[in-house]
Amino acid sequence: MDQKNLTPAVVRMLQTLLEDPDRIFYATELMDAARVGSGSLYPALARLEKAGWVTCEEEDIDPSVEKRPARHYYQLTGLGVRAAHMALVELSNSVRPPASSPGWGMKPQINRIGRAFGCFAAKLSSPHTAPRGI
């Protein structure tokens, strides 16, 4: 599966499925657990099933007796567990800033912010500063 298919909804679904790879979810249960809507869930499940990452089995019931449609149960395959884990790791690595990025060293930013607030506080406490607009 390409990274372009790893939408936020698919990422949440994969994370939910990977929490317990042996667990079997029916669609509504997975939708609730992963916090995705049906418009994202079903197309993603179809792609995951086509890729061999999940299996789907339909519940064997008589809908007229049960008064509800048969549920579809989804579970990660062995390939799906490995592939989903690798896809999430690759996605994480692709969005992580490089180690030399200023985002990794927050201390310089904190010092700049502290200096800025320090200047602001000094201006407020200065007896020579007249309030504006009065």
The values of phi and psi at residue 4, to 5°, are -65, -25
C-alpha 80: how far from chain center: 17
Per-position pLDDT tens, the chain of length 134: 666 678 999 999 999 999 999 999 999 999 999 999 999 999 999 999 999 999 999 989 998 999 988 999 999 999 999 999 999 998 888 877 666 656 555 555 555 555 555 554 555 555 555 555 54
pLDDT at 42: 94
User: What is the per-residue pLDDT for 43?
Assistant: 94
Compute the distance between CA of residue 26 and CA of residue 78 in angstroms, rounded to an integer. 19
pTM above 0.75, yes or no: no
Position 41 scores a pLDDT of 94
Question: Is there a contact between 52 and 80 (Cβ–Cβ < 8 Å)?
Answer: yes
pLDDT at 45: 95
Angstrom distance (rounded) from CA 126 to CA 119:
10
Dihedral of the alpha carbons of 42, 47, 50, 51, in degrees to the nearest 10: -140
